[in-house]
Amino acid sequence: MFPNYDVIVVGAGHAGCEAAHAAAKMGSRVLLCTMNMNTIAQMSCNPAMGGVAKGQIVREIDALGGMSGIISDKSMIQFRMLNRSKGPAMWSPRTQNDRMRFAEEWRLALEQTPNVDFWQEMITGLLVKDKQVIGVRTSIGLEIKGKSVVLTNGTFLNGLIHIGEKQFGGGRTGEGAARGITEQLVQLGFEAGRMKTGTPPRVDGRSLDYTKMEIQYGDENPEKFSFSDETKPLTKQHTCWITYTNKEVHQTLETGFDRSPMFNGRIQGLGPRYCPSIEDKINRFAERERHQIFVEPEGWNTVEMYINGFSTSLPEDVQYEAMRKIPGFENAKMFRPGYAIEYDFFPPTQLKLTLETQLIDNLYFAGQINGTTGYEEAASQGLIAGINASLKTQEKDPFLLKRSDAYIGVLIDDLINKGTEEPYRMFTSRAEFRLLLRQDNADLRLTQLGHSIGLADNTRLEKMLDKKNDTAKLINDLKQKKLSPEGINEGLEDLETATIKEKITIDKLIKRPQLGILDIMKLDDEIGQYLSKYDKEVIEQAEIQIKYENYLEKEQQMVEKLSNMENYKIPLNFDYLAVTALSAEGRQKLHKIKPETLGQASRISGVSPADLSILTVYLGR
């Protein structure tokens, strides 16, 4: 009934979709298994992609040849570039999306990808032989053979939904939990844990009074995620709104604390620190009189609204009563209440950098099963797992991204070496080389790599090379072309920056904090006409590289300094327990994680500088 697949992907969320698409595009025969074909790529929480650091991840996925950026562009209803007032390392693209169109676009993309087959049924177990996965078993007892398996189970593994004192099994509202896989993995020797996440109520937008809220518009000149020409920026955008809780809202919420599963101990799993529930916020930050609430449309043609900032698992009657005391919500009608969900995860220190498990060959984990939270984090892991599963079946070298290559590299390195005891979320602060890992240069960093493994196509590569060459030419010209005092001093005074006394090259003007290339274009008509020949992306790239040249050079020097440790390979069979000079904690952590390089070993929590010195001596021998 089934052929012998190269890659079987279990779960069709953001991680599963990216894994299936990547592996298939690289030539593998793929089976994507899901409990419900109608919920492929479901946006389970807020209808948005990107944000701080997350937007950089989406652009990196796109640069490598993944689909999240294209799908986001095709379904977006609003675009905003966050943190524009800060430096370019902090600029983060974010889209508000049409929930139904997002899922539809992903399904269409997968159905149009050769080599992808689908199977709708719960997967209840793995077929394992001699510590190697050889397929999966379904709930009706079918056995499907595969050379590799990627588990992307999301919140479905023994999922338990909480609303006040009520609790029931489920991986998402209206959908059942997945059972069997956790128990088998534990029997095979894996360590498992529990985490929780939550979601807010959904309301009828027709019942809200928007005059009592602040309007949040999209960018005046919206951009997009994908570097490809397959998508275009929006020409019209939907608005969002902002309102606030108040003391009365907080007091009403507190009346339900005695029935809260979070406060009475029924929820055992740890929730996301940086996306707490509303009851957690008013409990932890009791001194604050209000909290921000974002009212986000679920799509172009629906009245359903997502109440971002009001995630809760309180009883539904308390949710409803408190919500109606928020300005603009006095007559709100609820579509469904918010809830918390607990689910199984597997500490990611049990994985290799390829996201293959250490215990079972050809078995890969990606997404929330690894303890992460967020669509973007999941999608990036799915992409890397799908790539490596495909490469391994083709007997090719693995694909690894270093911390200096991409935010995706930072994410995976953090998970494997540090693990996580709470849902892991990406931030710019987690990346030590964030000036190099900007959203604007993701294509320059990664498209060549994506092309080399057969994921990014020739058109993408050519577009990236054109951008790279045009940027280099423009920077060179700006370092050669000079402007004279009589031509620009009056304009410099208008821009409130110092005048010049002799001719100056344009790049030196661009280095001034007050000036950018667009200002230079207005200072001199001839230069303006010359610069107008270049694409906006090239002009922006040239400006960033010139303005931050010294900082970029210093960061690059740091990368090169650390690369020696990254290139120092450690044999996979190295016996750390035999090195008695190592500290007890160092021996234990190194034996458990089995780092592949000295650089990776240096980032493991509990491995001291002294341990590294001792390890270096032993490796030298």
- The answer to whether the annotation marks 283 as part of a ligand binding site is yes
- The answer to whether the annotation marks 275 as part of a ligand binding site is yes
- The answer to whether the annotation marks 123 as part of a ligand binding site is no
- The answer to whether the annotation marks 236 as part of a ligand binding site is no
- The answer to whether the annotation marks 279 as part of a ligand binding site is yes
At position 349, the amino acid (one-letter code) is T
Q: Give whole-number Cα distances, 66 to 60, 384, 497, in Å.
A: 8, 10, 44
- The answer to whether the annotation marks 454 as part of a ligand binding site is no
- The answer to whether the annotation marks 451 as part of a ligand binding site is no
Q: In what order do the strands lie in the sheet with 160-163?
A: 166-169, 160-163, 339-345, 193-199
- The answer to whether the annotation marks 356 as part of a ligand binding site is no
- The answer to whether the annotation marks 144 as part of a ligand binding site is no
- The answer to whether the annotation marks 11 as part of a ligand binding site is yes
CA angle 356/357/360 to nearest 5° reads 115
- The answer to whether the annotation marks 274 as part of a ligand binding site is yes
CB count in 10 Å sphere of residue 488:
21
Residue 175's φ and ψ, nearest 5 degrees, are -130, 140
- The answer to whether the annotation marks 272 as part of a ligand binding site is yes
Q: Give whole-number Cα distances, 187 to 51, 144, 268, 359, 363, in Å.
A: 39, 21, 22, 12, 15
- The answer to whether the annotation marks 14 as part of a ligand binding site is yes
- The answer to whether the annotation marks 445 as part of a ligand binding site is no
- The answer to whether the annotation marks 286 as part of a ligand binding site is no
237 neighbors 78 (Cβ within 8 angstroms): yes
- The answer to whether the annotation marks 284 as part of a ligand binding site is yes
In angstroms, the CA 52 to CA 90 distance is 7
- The answer to whether the annotation marks 273 as part of a ligand binding site is yes
- The answer to whether the annotation marks 13 as part of a ligand binding site is yes
Residue 56's φ and ψ, nearest 5 degrees, are -60, -40
- The answer to whether the annotation marks 278 as part of a ligand binding site is yes
Return the closest-CA partner of residue 226 out of 100, 107, 77, 74. Answer: 74
Q: Give whole-number Cα distances, 268 to 205, 329, 343, 422, 607, in Å.
A: 34, 32, 10, 12, 30
Return the closest-CA partner of residue 430 out of 386, 377, 365, 354. Answer: 377
| Residue 476 CB partners (closer than 8 Å, separation 6+) | none
- The answer to whether the annotation marks 88 as part of a ligand binding site is no
In angstroms, the CA 67 to CA 376 distance is 11
- The answer to whether the annotation marks 218 as part of a ligand binding site is no
Annotated binding site for NAD(+): 271-285
Annotated binding site for FAD: 11-16
Annotated binding site: 11-16, 271-285
